[in-house]
Each structure stands twice: as structure tokens, then as C-alpha cells.
Amino acid sequence: MAKLTEEQKAQRAAARARREALAAEEKDHRDTERREAWAREGTRLTWDEYKAGVPCRGCGEPMYDGLGSWPGLMYLTEEEKRDHEAMEERFRQLHPDCKSGRWGTNGSRVTHCCLCCPPPPLGPAQIEKLSRLFQSFPSAEERKKDLDAWELILTCDHVTTLIQHRENTYVRRVVDCPECQTRRGVVDSKRLGPAYTDEGVKAARSETEQARLAAELAKAKEQLRRQQQRAAATGNRIEELQKQLSPSAPGDGPA
């Protein structure tokens, strides 16, 4: 098998990145549609309903069964193994095609599907804890010095900028595209530098604009190449038809 050139390797890597971005975009769209359906259909439980033992509206299973968390699988008794397998089989029957993750609550053995089943509501103590946590955050102005700008190339070929904390080196797989007005998968990303210094903002805007223009130029060149190929093929066809329509040369006919 012939060894791949560096250009071929780069092409394959780019194609793989686009496939993965499109898959992430599809999953995000599916998850968004499900959350919107939960809100529209009133699938989520209130805190009072959860405390009263109302079952999950996604699958009908208890949100909390009070049986205690499962011990490690290697520590299960024979009876517990049978119970565990029975619950696994029931989960497979309820969610045969979900292909999603699971969640459960402490002190409960039943598990729920991340696609079908909304998570349990936050309780008053959790809300209070989160409120205190948010109040302890630095002010918005103080946080700006720790934010970096990232340039993102999306599946729609648009280029946008993402701003996030400097310590976060992982760029989310799907973001909002301001031009398409929908969420798109991220094909490629590049850190531009500090987002809220004069130099950083100018550099981010300049590089983003340059990248956008480069992407549009590459797209236009590709369109031109295809048009030229079609024009060349049409020209060849015209020449063939003209030859077929040309009268025979003198002396070529029968004697």
C-alpha cells in the first residue's frame, strides 16, 4: 500500500474533523429538540412532585426507589445479580434505540435515559448553595482579564469568535452561528489571545476577518474551478456536435 503524502494526510484529517463536527451538530440538534419537547409537554417534575414520589414522565419509572445505591458489581450477591440483570433488561426494553447515557440518584437503583428522561429538579438547598457560589464570583470586569478569544470554523464554513476562560483549553463541539442563526458543529479552532485588551480585540477581529475572507476566497475558487470544468465539458460537446454536422469532404462519397 502506497504511503500517504503529507497533503493526503492533511486532507484525511480535515475530512475526519468535518465528519465529527457534523455528528456533534446532529446530536446537539436532537438534544435541543428533546429539551424543547420537555418544556412544551410539561415532562419535567417540580420539586414538590419529586418529593411526593411522582414517577418520571419520560419512562414511567420511579425517580427514587429508596433501595440504596448498587454496590460494586464484583460485590453483588447472587440475588442482587439477578435483580441487577432484571433492571438492566427492563432498561433495554424501555430504551431500545436511545443510544444515550444514563443518570441516577444517590440511594436509588433505578437508572434513567439522558435522552428520554429529564433530570430531577433542584431542591431549595441546592439552589441556595448555587446562589452563594455565584455571589462569590469576581465581577464581570475582573473576569475579563482572564478571558481568551478563539477563532472557530464551523460546518457551514462560517468563521466566528468564541470567548472563554483562559484555563479552558477545550472548545465546545457545537456553538451558535450568528450568520446561519442556528447551532453548528466546530470543524477547527484556534486560540487568538486575550479577548478584552485593545490589542487583543484588534488582533482577534483582524484574524477573524482574514480567516473569513480566506474561507470565502477558497469557496469562490472552488466554484470557479467547477464552472470551468463544466464549461470545458460543454465546449468539447459542442465541438463533437459540430464535427457530426459538418458535410462530408469532396470525394468521400460513393463513386
pLDDT at 255: 44
Q: pTM of the prediction?
A: 0.61
Are 135 and 82 in contact by the 8 Å Cβ rule? The answer is: no
Which alpha helices (DSSP H) does the chain contain, by range? 6-41, 47-51, 78-94, 124-135, 140-144, 198-245
pLDDT tens-digit readout, 127-148? 999 999 888 887 877 888 889 9
* Distance from C-alpha of 160 to C-alpha of 164, rounded to nearest angstrom: 13
SS3 content of the chain, % helix, strand, coil (to 5): 50, 15, 35
* Distance from C-alpha of 94 to C-alpha of 29, rounded to nearest angstrom: 23
The set of residues, in sequence order, having a beta carbon less than 8 Å from that of 101 and lying 6+ positions away, is 113, 114
What is the dihedral sign for C-alpha 225, 226, 227, 229?
positive
* Distance from C-alpha of 52 to C-alpha of 48, rounded to nearest angstrom: 6
Percent of the residues in the chain that have a pLDDT greater than 70, as a whole number: 90
pLDDT at 143: 82
Sole residue written with cell 462560517: 158
pLDDT at 201 over 60: no
